[in-house]
Amino acid sequence: MDVVAFFTEILKFRSITPDDDGCLKFIAEFLGDFEARFIEKNGVKNLILSKRFGDGAHLAFAGHVDVVPPGEGWQSEPFTPLMKDGFIYARGAQDMKSGVAAFVCACRDAKNFNGRLTLILTSDEEGDALFGTLEALKILKERGELPQFAVVAEPTCTGVFGDTIKVGRRGSINGKILIRGVQGHAAYPEKCVNPVHQIAPLLSRIAGHDMDAGSEFFSPSKIVITDIRGGMEVCNVTPSELGIMFNVRNSDITSADDVKNYLQSVLEGLNFELSLKQSSKPFLTDKDSKIVRAMSKAVQKISGVAPQLNTKGGTSDARYLAEFGVKVVEFGVINDRIHAVDERAGVKEVERLYLVFKELIENFA
């Protein structure tokens, strides 16, 4: 079974988070000469596949088989792959069964590799992701089998296949500010403590504020306000409190403590509460590391494109690998329809992605 045929088969599984719908078992049987370890926790299924070829480097490929719900308005049934005009349409085509198919087939066909290959697959990346890749990594660490290097096959390319390798990701800090005042009649403002009036002259120091100047691979860590609300939606009563919600996509330069300290200094003198939650941490893999150099070389050889290295986008399971000290990059097909109606991946992209991973494995000395 070639990579396109395998890709088409795994697209048929209705693997909506966290149900893998049998997809992981199918993959384990496909790689029958790899040692398989199934892990299930809190309704999440994970699969670790591993094979030792020699005593060299330990290289892993990681990905997820779960997908988001398809929604309405598709031109075809979302879990019945449609091949049309050089594309395959199905939910999960870009995010990320194309990547899974490519590295599964590349690992199956690996011959000239003097080390260990490991595949880490989960049914919970699109959800809370608490018992997916993270759980698999904990088990690998307990067994002393953590990989040195890893590739997460998320869709990374933007315009043409081969144009982007992700070497890191920004973190995400969610925050809430609650400013307390004294409610009263709008006709007697001197008897009120109006939190709206209190925050108004300070808002420009919060909204859109850059916590740092950015770096070679990261944009500035900006405070982005996502919600402001207070009052009872009437014109003659001042609010007793005002709530502000915000998010900071932070680089490795700015921490949650930096955000906390800055906001406390801005809001000094007000009666306020501030809560922060770091939902994901930033990471950056050295551009001169073995995995970045090898991946760049493989991509350029197969695609003819010199890939750019960046950290744009949201979060992925690559952050968990980085937390465990694994040198990790992300590379996959073009990302232009993930989570959308009529999600699709180019047939030639999937074939070339397989060749990129095969090239990486064969030359990862």
Task: Assess whether 15 and 68 both reside in one domain.
Answer: yes
224-260 pLDDT, tens digit per residue, is 999 999 999 999 999 999 999 999 999 999 999 999 9
Domain boundary pick from 280, 296, 316: 280
5-51 pLDDT, tens digit per residue, is 999 999 999 999 999 999 999 999 999 999 999 999 999 999 999 99
Task: Assess whether 179 and 70 both reside in one domain.
Answer: no
Domain boundary pick from 239, 260, 280: 280
Q: Which domain holds residue 261?
A: 171-280
Task: Assess whether 276 and 302 both reside in one domain.
Answer: no
Number of domains in the chain: 2
Domain boundary pick from 280, 301, 331: 280
114-151 pLDDT, tens digit per residue, is 999 999 999 999 998 999 999 999 999 999 999 999 99
Task: Assess whether 141 and 184 both reside in one domain.
Answer: no
Query: Which residues are marked as active site?
Result: 66, 125
We report the CATH number of the domain holding residue 139 as: 3.40.630.10
State the average pLDDT over residues 152-177: 97
Q: Is 365 a residue whose pLDDT tops 80?
A: no
CB of 76 closer than 8 Å to CB of 89: yes
Amino acid 28: pLDDT = 98
Task: Assess whether 33 and 137 both reside in one domain.
Answer: yes
State the average pLDDT over residues 329-335: 98
Task: Assess whether 182 and 299 both reside in one domain.
Answer: no
Task: Assess whether 101 and 178 both reside in one domain.
Answer: no
Task: Assess whether 203 and 60 both reside in one domain.
Answer: no
We report the CATH number of the domain holding residue 225 as: 3.30.70.360
